[in-house]
Amino acid sequence: MNNKTRNSLILFFPLLTIFIFGNIFLGNIKKELSTVQQTHSKLNKKLQAGKTVEKEKEDAMLHLEELKKAKLKEQKVLRKIDNSTITFDYLVRLSQNFAQNIRFDFSRSKNVSNANTNYNEYMITGNAGLTNLQKMILNLEQQKAIYTIEDLAIANRNSVNTDSVEFSLKINAYYDKSGSDYDKINLTRLPYSFYKFNYFKPVIEIEELESVDPSLVNVKKSKLIGMTHNKAFIKESNGLINILSMNDPVAYGKLSFIDPENQEVIFELKINNKEEIYKMSLKGEES
Amino acid sequence: MSRKKKFYFGIFEDGKSIKIAQLQMQKNAASVISLQKELMDEPLYAESVLKKKSLEQSDMGSTGAINLNEQSSEFEMDTSEDMQSKFMALDYLLRRFPLQDGKLALNVNNDKLSFHTVNLPSKKITRSKLVELEILKPYEKRDKKVLINFLPTVKEQTTVIIHRGENKLFNLLQDYNKKNSYKNFFYSLIDSNDVLLTDYLQNSEELELDSNTLMLYLGHDYKKGIIMEGKTYQKSFPIMTSTSSFDVKEEIYSKLMLMEDEGDIPKINKIIIAGDYSKEEDIEFFAEKYDSIKVKRASFENFPLSIDPEISEEEIAIFIVPIMLALKAMNLKNLSFTTSNFLSEKVIEAQKPFKIGWHGFLILAAIFVVGVYLTNSYLIYKQQLKEVTHKNKNLEFKLEAIEQDKMIIQNIQKQISEIEQSEKKITEILKNKNKWTYILNKFAYAFATHPQSWLVNLQNEKDNFSVTGYTDDRQNVIYFSKLFPNSKIMSVTSDRQNERNIWRFEITFSYPEINTLEIIASASPKTIPTPKVNKTRDTRNEHVDAKDIKNSFLLVTDAYKKGHKERTLQLAEDFIAKFPQAELALNCKYLIGEIIYQQGQTKRAEKLFDEVIETKNNMAPYALYMKAKLYAYKHKNIEKAIHLLDELKKYYTTSPIIPKAQKLYNKLEGHNE
């Protein structure tokens, strides 16, 4: 074999090597390109699908904007916790800030907890100018903290000489563990537009047939609506609720005993010089 | 094969004698490995021997002429077996050397050469010139078998050495190679003995510038004298000896003397002897003959050549030609050699390791094409790959953004869901609750606009609420009952207190269908102007003759009903002047406003309507309606008119003017659009 043939043979090997490895390399690159193109195709499809997402995003953004607006408009917020201290503090603040410091009696009547809602029930009674009472009611209803007025009674015991009315409120204070801290719910000065007109003020004095002090509750015309270990909640026929403790006077007598176990209250009355023990029960029995 | 093991072989054919010198390169210097010789049964070039014999016989006056051609053809016709037997000694000698592991240099038979001196430098000598000088035959001009080399000669002359015919030693070595080795021998050099000896002299440092040196090479067959003038070749001459001569040295000496006498050779200053007749006695013989001339044996004293001390100087002198062959093949840097080689171009080319044939070029072209194709394809694919990868990255970036958007959407949806849940809970809690502000406000308005009425009690039941109150007008009870839905007048009883007839009433209502949250959201201090409550209520404490008021007002209304506008205006003005604090004074103001509006006194009319509207009198909705008309038709302020009608519809829902107001509203809305 001469050098030419040998050299040709030698050259043939690099040719073969270049051809084989080149093709393998090209094959790999083609494969890689194919993979990348497939990926491109998939990504394109995803992107096409993503365009819907883009639309969804736009909608969501719009929704988000609406949400933000809604948040701005958010008027009512659940509190994280509630107890009588918080609510009393809250009511005093409302009274001091918006209702010329109206006076009221305050008592917690019960607590309700279930899967959906938690609330405490409170009784508020008092005597106030109608405008201030309206302001108090407005703030209870419309401040951010959620209080509902479950029961309202306003009455004027027929006095032309006073602008004040008697009132009783049964309110529920709602709270939820997902709610906001009490400290973070600020009071806001609400715009009010009600007429400052006392429509409970009599134009003329109406003669009262009652022989007893009209400011005292006539238990015989009232109803026991609730009680705690030392308080009884008596609702008069005019809807006013009276919060009575032991020995508190009532028409013709006094509250002598509160029996939370039997859910009874006992009054000692003296009508027409005849002494009488009058029982009121939450079970509806009266004697 | 490593460089250290590379051998160089000088093979010298001299008639029947074959001498081989094996040299090796060691650290930039050559070393003699082996020197061996053999005598063949017959010389390789039998014809030359015969020719010589013929010459000898002719010289001796022999009678029988020898036919050279016949001898030659006889030799050529020898079978290969005969060749093998004839040159067994050569074969035997060659087997002792690893010829395949080295480079081979061999000599050409001197008888195949012809020497011609030309008065031209070697660079100017071409084949054409030689043809021109009749040294070459015209047909030899392109004959590649006719090989030409040059030997620079004194006086800027050139000795042209021409080799014709085949080199049998070379052919024989090739045959031997084919038979005994799978590997091809590498032939570096084929040179003439004269050139080799000249090269020896020029590298030996024996030559002096102003003296003539005679080199006597006395071999087995090859015997020649080479004269160097200074350091340059002058001429050479063969020394023909008789094979039958008993004293060759004497014969040589006498021939030299003859040549000297004839002036064929110049005066010699130094004689150097080499070849088979360079033994000690030979040197002494010539030294004795030429007592005034320095005679010495050829040696490699000044050559970069290491020689085994066991090798005698005589032996070195005998092997001077094969050693020079091997040295020239080595091409040592510190030795200079005449450029000459009788190896054919074909063999040289064929031995070049990187020589490429047409198929090689084809493969190279294929490599190039494949390389270009692959490179091009690679670049294209790479570019595509880069582009697609780049696109993919962009897409991935976009998709990532989309994924982030999705997460944002999820978060938003979660927040929305939480808020909706919270709102739902709050809405649920506040459902039908906290409507008291609205209810009380509506009562306030109702009682403010219906004087001589008041409440003594308001309380709620489970699904409704009830009020108890007094009024001096039974009509008011109906009005009050329409304030809230599903009202029931439970009782209306007459009473007389402080010499006044009054009515005690009790009404129950359902809670109004209003959304507490909407009320809270829409609450604005400017929605309702502050009523001047005292104004109407003040009349309660004044001792006014109600009958007088009533009669006076009846006069006004009677005139109005009869269409006496001027009289109505007069009576109404009188009424206002007489009973400025009376509730009906506001009614009179309204009537005045309505009439003067028709007369075009819009400014005053508007002022009167405003006064009525501010007091929330029962004529206030009418005043609002008239003011809206005034704005729509006189001031051309439709927007304001619509606003006034809106207010009217919102706060005076039970007013009889509402249908007319709605009609006007629809008309204006259409106009506005």
pLDDT at residue B106 in the model: 94
Check CB contact of B454 with chain A, cutoff 8 Å. yes
Of the two residues A124 and B350, the one the predictor is more confident about is: A124
Q: What is the 3-state secondary structure (H, E, C) of B391-450?
A: HHHHHHHHHHHHHHHHHHHHHHHHHHHHHHHHHHHHHHHHCCCCCHHHHHHHHHHHHHHC
User: In this complex, which of A8, A149, A195 lies closest to B359 when CB atoms are compared?
Assistant: A8
Separation CA B384–CA B381 (nearest Å): 5
Minimum distance, in Å, between the CA of residue A124 and any CA atom of chain B: 14
- Closest chain B residue to the Cα of A170, Cα to Cα: B460
B55 pLDDT more than 70: no
Distance, first Cα to last Cα, chain B: 109
As a whole number, mean pLDDT of residues B53-80 equals 44
The one-character DSSP state at A207 is P
Q: Give, to the nearest 10 degrees, the angle between helix B436-449 and helix A130-142.
A: 150
Separation CA B506–CA B443 (nearest Å): 14
Distance, first Cα to last Cα, chain A: 139
pLDDT at residue B430 in the model: 83
In what side-by-side order are the strands of the sheet with A164-175?
A103-113, A118-129, A164-175, A147-155, B453-460, B464-471, B500-510, B488-497
B345 pLDDT more than 90: no
pLDDT digits (tens, 9 = 90+) for A26-47: 888 888 888 988 888 988 888 8
Percent pLDDT > 70 in chain B is 87
pLDDT at residue B535 in the model: 36
Minimum distance, in Å, between the CA of residue A258 and any CA atom of chain B: 26
Residue A34: how many other CB atoms lie within 10 Å: 12
Mean pLDDT for chain B overall: 83
pLDDT at residue A284 in the model: 67
Residues of chain A contacting B465 with CB distance shorter than 8 Å: 152
As a whole number, mean pLDDT of residues B257-268 equals 87
As a whole number, mean pLDDT of residues B341-353 equals 85
Run of H or E residues at B333: none
| Token output for B552 | 């006076």
pLDDT at residue B130 in the model: 92
pLDDT at residue B620 in the model: 81
Check CB contact of B370 with chain A, cutoff 8 Å. yes
Q: Give, to the nearest 10 degrees, the angle between helix B280-289 and helix B248-262.
A: 30
pLDDT at residue A286 in the model: 61
As a whole number, mean pLDDT of residues A189-207 equals 73
As a whole number, mean pLDDT of residues A203-227 equals 75
pLDDT category of residue B59 using cuts at 50, 70 and 90: very low
pLDDT at residue B63 in the model: 38
**Inter-chain contact B454–A200, Cβ cutoff 8 Å?**
yes
- Closest chain B residue to the Cα of A15, Cα to Cα: B367
pLDDT digits (tens, 9 = 90+) for A59-101: 877 876 776 566 555 678 888 899 999 999 999 999 988 888 8
Closest by Cα among B610, B583, B584, B605 to B594: B605
pLDDT digits (tens, 9 = 90+) for B530-562: 333 333 333 333 344 567 777 888 888 888 888
Which residues, numbered 238 to 257 in chain A, qualify as contacts with chain B under a Cβ-Cβ cut-off of 8 Å?
238-240
Which residues, numbered 17 to 56 in chain A, qualify as contacts with chain B under a Cβ-Cβ cut-off of 8 Å?
18-19, 22-23, 25-26, 29-30, 32-33, 36-37, 39-40, 43-44, 46-47, 50, 53-54, 56
User: In this complex, which of B378, B402, B416 lies closest to A29 when CB atoms are compared?
Assistant: B378
Percent pLDDT > 90 in chain A is 15
B672 pLDDT more than 60: no
pLDDT category of residue B66 using cuts at 50, 70 and 90: very low
**Inter-chain contact A203–B455, Cβ cutoff 8 Å?**
no
pLDDT digits (tens, 9 = 90+) for B152-206: 998 889 999 999 888 889 999 999 999 888 888 899 999 999 999 999 999 988 8
Separation CA B566–CA B564 (nearest Å): 6
pLDDT category of residue B97 using cuts at 50, 70 and 90: very high
pLDDT at residue B546 in the model: 62
pLDDT at residue B51 in the model: 58
Percent pLDDT > 90 in chain B is 27
pLDDT at residue A226 in the model: 86
pLDDT at residue B13 in the model: 92
Residue to mutate among B440, B445, B494, B504, with most A CBs inside 10 A, is B440
Check CB contact of A112 with chain B, cutoff 8 Å. no
A137 pLDDT more than 50: yes
- Closest chain B residue to the Cα of A41, Cα to Cα: B392
**CA distance to A99, A132, B211, B433, B519, per residue, from A95 (Å):** 5, 8, 147, 21, 22
**Inter-chain contact B441–A78, Cβ cutoff 8 Å?**
no
Of the two residues B217 and B68, the one the predictor is more confident about is: B217
pLDDT at residue A119 in the model: 93
How far from chain centre, in Å, is Cα A231? 26
pLDDT at residue B1 in the model: 41
**Inter-chain contact A53–B402, Cβ cutoff 8 Å?**
yes
> Are A126 and A105 within 8 A, CB to CB?
yes
Residues of chain A contacting B184 with CB distance shorter than 8 Å: 2
